[in-house]
Copies of this chain bind each other. A is one copy, B any other.
Amino acid sequence: TGKLTPEFEKELFTLAAQENPGSAAKDRSYSPYSNFRVGAALIAKSGNIYLGGNVENASYGATRCAEQTAFQKAISEGERRFLAVGVATDTDAFISPCGVCRQFMVEYGKGLLVYNFKPDGTFKKYTLQELLPDSFGPEDLDRPRD
């Protein structure tokens, strides 16, 4: 598990959340049904950063969260190893990634740092291991069968 400097943590927040038109992930959210805008900023171990917003669908089940968008971007650019993800919303609370996203992300390791940012930039920090203990993952599909 890695560690971010306070400066980098602040940068992560800015990327995910700050009302800086055209530049923050949250501003590009497509969320006409929930009106719940979410932005995610993902730092790969390569140092590259990927931003994502939530993308909703009239068929709610086809909705994709911001964290998934950021990861899908990164994966499709060839990234496989990640350091930290920051999540920001308009809500004055520490909003945590949903279980779908935790599952989506654990595919790439349990040491990922997860930052839940409030609009004021304060945050709660976890490892993915803490958010999805005793997770189901790639290793489970390879186990010997009874």
* Interface residues in chain A, defined as those with a beta carbon under 8 Å from any beta carbon in chain B: 22, 25, 28-30, 32-34, 36, 51-53, 55-66, 68-73, 75-78, 80, 90-104, 106-107, 116, 119, 124, 126, 130-138, 140-141, 143-146
Number of identical protomers: 4
A68: chain B residues at CB < 8 Å are: 61, 64, 72
Once the chains bind, are A144 and B78 in contact (CB under 8 Å)?
no
**Pick the contact of A101 from B94, B96, B99 — CB < 8 Å?**
B99
Given contacts A28-B75, A51-B76, A69-B76, 16 further A-B contacts (CB under 8 A): A22-B78, A33-B34, A53-B75, A57-B103, A58-B98, A59-B98, A60-B63, A62-B107, A72-B72, A92-B146, A96-B135, A100-B100, A100-B103, A102-B102, A102-B103, A126-B134
